[in-house]
Chains A and B, each alone.
Chain A
Amino acid sequence: MTFQIELNGVNKYYGAFHALKDINLAIEEGTFVALVGPSGCGKSTLLRSLAGLEKITAGEMKIAGQRMNDVPPRKRDVAMVFQSYALYPHMTVEENLTYSLRIRGVKKAEARKAAEEVATTTGLSHLMKRFPRELSGGQRQRVAMSRAIIRHPKAFLFDEPLSNLDAALRVHMRKEIRALHDRLHATSVYVTHDQIEAMTMADHVVVMRDGVIEQQGRPLDLYDRPANRFVAGFIGSPAMNFIPAVVGEGGADALLDFGRTRARLALAARLTPGLAVTVGIRPEHISIVAAGEGAFDIPVGIVESTGSATYVTSATQPELTVVETGRGAVKSGDVIGLSIDPKQLHVFDAETGERIGTERPPVTAASPPRLHLAEGAR
């Protein structure tokens, strides 16, 4: 099995700054991969290295089985969609689309035909004679994508392409990009800082921090079994609750420390008694019951309602957030009981932040996975 994109022990230094640390990644053809992480985590550097715009310091980088370390960008046959779109301002939409073809010496009529074909699929046909400055943000975005599509490259690279659009358009373009990917069966690498984009669009999510791949795998695997506290906190919205705790004497439960409030919570698996841990609970995995009827009681601090969901934040330290669908009857100052399924708990080592328990994440950065398209994508 050859991979479309393969990174082995890739390192990148900017002077003394270690931007990418031992990156291993293998991407099968046709996979949509999202690189996600906070700003400065190295995701853009990794993408630019794939494009050839940055030179990697050590390691090996292959595209379609070919070693790419010293190949200049123009010979890598990858297309990139920039955050700023980077449309050529002095060219019309049509000239923007056909630029790469004209550079390659494709005949004018042929290039024009190709541009028209792409423009029909992306809905740009009526804008071909316009200049980029005469287009809206969404239209520019489409031109940038069409410019990539027209080349039939070995891989598409997206560098936060939606971050300049407003929220509604972003949700729309998210679906469009994914649909486009499914139609073209192209290999795509998509950089974003928005975990929702990563979760909804990608077949394979790579979570990065400080130049290191923290975890990679299928989106729901990352959600269900985060490898460490960072990934657990990064994936999912609203963010997971983290409560410091100590494993009880029998090893079957944990004592949660909410400052003045203490709570005892059953664990799904036995752990070493007395071990200091961090317990993670997703807000959507807690349900509110009457005081005294749940696993433990807690005073209510703030109640926010969006209409479809209610966010209840406890008056404890640390805070605990609960999401309830619909409109709850809970008011600030109430004492409520919380019911939690022990199977939905995540336990992390208090010191290292690594996940504890039998449920190991199925994929780690050390062993590149074989990836498969999500069902129904083909």
Chain B
Amino acid sequence: MKRFLSSVTDGSGFDIGLVLLPLAFLFVMSGLPLVYNVVMSFQEVDMFSLGSFARPFVGLKNYIDLFSQPETRPILLNTAIFVSASIAGQFLIGFGLALFFWVNFPGASWLRGLFLVSWVMPGLVVGAIWNWILSGDFGVLNFLLRETGAISGNIFWRSDPNYSLWAVIIANIWLGTSFNMILLSVGLSGIPKDLYEAAELDGANAFQRFWTITLPMMRSTIGAIIALGLIFTLQQFDLFAAITSGGPNNTSNVTQYWAWDLSFRQYDFAKGATISVIMIVFVMFASVVYVRSTRHEVRG
């Protein structure tokens, strides 16, 4: 007992205690619900069995049922489009801005800080504002497009099945760009300046320097950002709730919104859990990419 106490006060026991505390927290608050969710996806769950753990197992029935539903494929496709378009937009615009502010003109850091405003805004508020911007009859976006001659008639962004998903994507790109920009700025500033000078003396022009120095040196940052972007876009919910509610006719519905809709509006908890399990697989993949990219820090 005494040895145990002394190891806690000045030995490895204290370190183990420090690790155990967050691990216990993570297990109770994240691990158990995750496992519970996976178990639920193999069970038959209805309003009456919701209160008990012992529910009849039905094997893969929930999965088979889910994929036989006609809306499943379009929604999965929507999710893929939403995730890839959002990440591409956020990353490209964020990288462009990061490179722009990297030039360090007067007021650059001040202006860069201002971009973080989008990051502190709640998704529902962002959604409400984009509702106005995207509004069909009197929206600013339509006004601009009309005045510049890009379109002749108004686009009903939120109610036109061809555009509804893109309305959310545009808002989501706006929301996530600043996060990308900040992380990429940090990555850029981590590249030693003398590498560029050496490359310049070695005869590389600005474009070659970008391809041969900047991009490879940013590999781990870019990997981390794409992985985080995948996780963040897969959990984007507020914008759907605020802008389209997944409509019209599921044309802007995505898995994360659908899972919520199935579980908490239609009370089909088993299906909701099943969709969540599919998403877990993708997020796990993203997490592995993230961990791997942050582990391989390149610096000689």
Interfacial residues, chain A to chain B (CB-CB below 8 A): 51-53, 72-76, 78-80, 82, 84, 86-90, 99-100, 103-104, 131-133, 140, 147, 151
Beta-carbon nearest neighbor of B193 in chain A: A86
Q: Is the CB of B192 within 8 A of A84?
A: yes
Chain B window 190-214, contacts with chain A (Cβ cutoff 8 Å), 1 for yes, 0 for no = 0010110111111111001000110
Contact of B298 among A82, A90, A151 (CB under 8 A): A90
Closest Cβ–Cβ distance, residue A188 to chain B (whole Å): 15
Which B residues from 280 to 300 make CB contacts under 8 A with A? 298-300
Give 27 pairs: A residue, B residue, CB < 8 Å, sorted on A. A51-B197, A51-B201, A52-B200, A53-B197, A53-B200, A72-B200, A73-B197, A73-B200, A86-B197, A86-B198, A87-B300, A88-B195, A88-B198, A88-B199, A89-B300, A90-B216, A90-B217, A90-B219, A99-B202, A99-B204, A99-B212, A103-B212, A131-B300, A132-B300, A133-B299, A133-B300, A147-B202
A-B residue pair count with CB separations less than 8 angstroms: 72
Cα-based distance from A140 to B212 in the complex (angstroms): 20
Cα-based distance from A140 to B198 in the complex (angstroms): 14
Closest Cβ–Cβ distance, residue B123 to chain A (whole Å): 37
- Whether A89 touches B298, Cβ cut-off 8 Å, given contacts A82-B197, A84-B192, A84-B194, is yes
- Of B192, B195, B205, B300, the most chain A CB neighbours within 10 A belong to B300
Cα-based distance from A89 to B198 in the complex (angstroms): 12
Cα-based distance from A51 to B194 in the complex (angstroms): 13
Q: Is the CB of B201 within 8 A of A73?
A: yes
Residues in A neighbouring B216, C-beta threshold 8 A:
90
- Of B204, B216, B299, the most chain A CB neighbours within 10 A belong to B204
Q: Is the CB of B203 within 8 A of A100?
A: yes
Beta-carbon nearest neighbor of B216 in chain A: A90
Residues in B neighbouring A133, C-beta threshold 8 A:
299-300
Cα-based distance from A184 to B205 in the complex (angstroms): 28
Beta-carbon nearest neighbor of B204 in chain A: A103
Cα-based distance from A103 to B195 in the complex (angstroms): 15
Cα-based distance from A86 to B205 in the complex (angstroms): 17
Cα-based distance from A133 to B192 in the complex (angstroms): 15
- Whether A103 touches B201, Cβ cut-off 8 Å, given contacts A88-B195, A89-B298, is no
- Whether A82 touches B299, Cβ cut-off 8 Å, given contacts A74-B205, A100-B203, is no
Q: Is the CB of B203 within 8 A of A74?
A: yes
- Of A74, A100, A131, the most chain B CB neighbours within 10 A belong to A74
- Whether A74 touches B192, Cβ cut-off 8 Å, given contacts A90-B219, A133-B299, is no
Residues in B neighbouring A147, C-beta threshold 8 A:
198, 202
Q: Is the CB of A103 within 8 A of B203?
A: yes
Contact of B192 among A52, A79, A80, A86 (CB under 8 A): A86
Q: Is the CB of A99 within 8 A of B199?
A: yes
Cα-based distance from A132 to B194 in the complex (angstroms): 15
Which B residues from 130 to 168 make CB contacts under 8 A with A? none
Beta-carbon nearest neighbor of B198 in chain A: A86
Q: Is the CB of B201 within 8 A of A88?
A: no
Cα-based distance from A318 to B208 in the complex (angstroms): 59
Closest Cβ–Cβ distance, residue B138 to chain A (whole Å): 52
Beta-carbon nearest neighbor of A76 in chain B: B201
Closest Cβ–Cβ distance, residue B77 to chain A (whole Å): 37
Q: Is the CB of A82 within 8 A of B194?
A: yes
Cα-based distance from A103 to B208 in the complex (angstroms): 8
Residues in B neighbouring A53, C-beta threshold 8 A:
197, 200-201
Residues in A neighbouring B212, C-beta threshold 8 A:
88, 99, 103
Beta-carbon nearest neighbor of A80 in chain B: B201
- Of A75, A82, A151, the most chain B CB neighbours within 10 A belong to A82
Cα-based distance from A103 to B212 in the complex (angstroms): 9
Cα-based distance from A175 to B252 in the complex (angstroms): 72
Cα-based distance from A86 to B217 in the complex (angstroms): 13
Residues in A neighbouring B200, C-beta threshold 8 A:
52-53, 72-74
Residues in A neighbouring B199, C-beta threshold 8 A:
88, 99, 103
Q: Is the CB of A86 within 8 A of B219?
A: no
Residues in B neighbouring A90, C-beta threshold 8 A:
216-217, 219, 298
Give 10 A-B pairs besides A75-B203, A82-B198, A99-B204 with Cβ atoms closer than 8 angstroms: A51-B197, A51-B201, A74-B204, A87-B300, A88-B198, A88-B213, A90-B217, A103-B199, A131-B300, A147-B198
Closest Cβ–Cβ distance, residue B207 to chain A (whole Å): 11
Residues in B neighbouring A80, C-beta threshold 8 A:
197-198, 201
Residues in A neighbouring B208, C-beta threshold 8 A:
103
5 interchain residue pairs of minimum CB distance = A132-B300, A89-B300, A100-B202, A86-B194, A86-B198
- Whether A78 touches B201, Cβ cut-off 8 Å, given contacts A86-B194, A86-B195, A132-B300, is yes
